[in-house]
């Protein structure tokens, strides 16, 4: 597999993408913060298919940028894992044509930068409440990446379920004309949702982390057996992850699109979890069957 072309300069990237779009090329984009795992690669493989969907070769793009504006002051921006060389090889194997990896945040946020995208309602609650400003940073950088890349379609993982809803809302509200596609969570063999932050876990913590997906699976089984009470389902999850030594940030049952808490658990209700395992914050979610 050949390595994709690496472009560092956002302006050069925009010229390239605009020329391709003007020439009628279909463009698919996967924005990432790098340290790629199989979850990202499933997005890239799907991007390849969707770029080529109109019977002629399209352009499959990935961006790698650890976006400072979505990290709070006490979060892990400085130690966020990075491996550009390894990432480029993985992008190549997943059929990516071009990678944008700005080497300086100043190239994305110049000195006089002052425009922010705030997706008001769906950014509230869940991670939005626990990480103030996070979704404003995500929406703003993704709006910029959309403007730079001019994609027809953009793909995001369902692990960040609230992020996906925020970005869908943004694309609709701002008439971006971009199809925002969510792709299923990719899991390790034992069920742990893949995440770049899993790299922070010690071997012992990694062993315990499986309790998160098991607790979600058990909630699904209870719902399938007739349990409709969101409080009871959340309590079961909370007890299971606490028994595995994790601190619960939130466990909530919410409407899948509005993310408002539900009073009755029904098929499709989203169960969303955030926990601290040691110093590492992990999130996961499932739809009730």
Binding of ligand PAF by 102 (CB under 6 A) = no
Stretch that binds ligand PAF, among 10-18, 30-38, 170-178, 274-282 (CB under 6 A): 30-38
Q: How far is the CB of 213 from ligand PAF (least distance, A)?
A: 19
Catalytic, out of 40, 134, 152, 255? 40
Residue pair 85/132 in contact (Cβ under 8 Å)? The answer is: no
Among the listed residues 149, 143, 164, the one whose alpha carbon sits nearest the alpha carbon of residue 58: 149
Q: With CB under 6 A, what is the number of residues at the site for ligand PAF?
A: 10
**Which 8-state DSSP code applies to residue 25?**
-
Q: Does 32 bind ligand PAF (CB under 6 A)?
A: yes
> Judged by CB under 6 A, does residue 138 bind ligand PAF?
yes
Q: Candidates 67, 198, 213, 285: give the one binding ligand PAF (CB under 6 A).
A: 67
Write phi, then psi, for 176 (nearest 5 degrees).
-75, -20
Binding segment for ligand PAF among 82-90, 114-122, 137-145, 207-215 (CB under 6 A)? Answer: 137-145
Query: Is 70 a binder of ligand PAF (CB under 6 A)?
Result: yes
Distance of alpha carbon 281 from alpha carbon 200, whole angstroms? 10
Element at 178 (helix H, strand E): none
Residue at token pair 């028994």: 243
| Among positions 59, 119, 141, 251, the unique one binding ligand PAF when judged by CB under 6 A | 141
CB-side exposure of 141: number of CA atoms within 13 Å? Answer: 25
Smaller CB distance to ligand PAF: residue 138 or 193? 138
What is d(CA 26, CA 151) in angstroms, rounded to the nearest whole number? 8
Among 160, 205, 252, 284, interactor with ligand PAF by CB under 6 A: 160
Q: How far apart are CA 6 and CA 13, in angstroms?
A: 9
Least CB distance from residue 84 to ligand PAF, whole Å?
15
Separation of first and last alpha carbons in the chain: 39
* Least distance from ligand PAF to the Cβ atom of residue 276, Å: 19
Edge-to-edge strands of the sheet including 270-277? 247-254, 270-277, 280-287
- By CB under 6 A, residue 33 contacts ligand PAF: yes
Task: Select 229 or 249, whichever has its Cβ closest to ligand PAF.
Answer: 249
Closest separation in Å from C-beta 98 to ligand PAF: 16
Catalytic: 152?
A: no
User: Alpha-carbon distance 177 to 120, whole Å?
Assistant: 20
- Least Å distance, CB 138 to ligand PAF, is 5
| Structure tokens, 15 | 């010229």
Any idea which residues carry the catalytic annotation? 40
Interface residue list for ligand PAF (CB under 6 A): 31-33, 67, 70, 138, 141-142, 160, 163
């Amino acid at each position: 597999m050949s390595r994709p072309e690496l472009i560092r300069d956002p302006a050069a990237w925009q010229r390239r993408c605009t020329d391709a779009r003007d020439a009628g090329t279909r463009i698919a984009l996967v924005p990432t913060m790098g340290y790629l795992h199989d979850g990202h690669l499933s997005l890239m493989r799907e991007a390849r298919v969707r770029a080529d969907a109109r019977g002629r070769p399209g352009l499959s793009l990935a961006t790698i940028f650890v976006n400072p504006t979505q990290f709070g002051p006490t979060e892990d921006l400085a130690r966020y894992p990075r491996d550009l060389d390894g990432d480029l090889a993985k992008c190549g194997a997943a059929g990516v044509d071009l990678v944008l990896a700005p080497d300086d945040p100043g190239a994305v946020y110049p000195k006089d930068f002052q425009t922010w995208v705030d997706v008001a309602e769906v950014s509230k609650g869940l991670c939005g409440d626990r990480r103030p400003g996070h979704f404003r940073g995500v929406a703003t950088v993704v709006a910029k990446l959309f403007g730079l890349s001019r994609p027809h379609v953009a793909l995001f993982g369902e692990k960040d379920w609230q992020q996906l809803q925020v970005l869908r809302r943004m694309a609709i509200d701002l008439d971006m004309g971009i199809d925002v596609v969510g792709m299923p969570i990719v899991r390790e063999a034992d069920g742990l949702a893949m995440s770049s932050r899993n790299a922070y876990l010690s071997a012992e913590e990694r062993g315990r982390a499986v309790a998160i997906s098991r607790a979600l699976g058990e909630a699904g089984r209870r719902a399938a057996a007739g349990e409709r009470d969101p409080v009871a389902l959340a309590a079961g999850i909370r007890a299971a992850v606490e028994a595995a030594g994790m601190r619960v940030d939130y466990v909530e049952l919410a409407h899948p699109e509005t993310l408002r808490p539900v009073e009755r658990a029904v098929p499709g209700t989203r169960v969303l979890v955030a926990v601290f395992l040691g110093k590492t914050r992990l999130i996961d979610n499932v739809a009730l069957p």
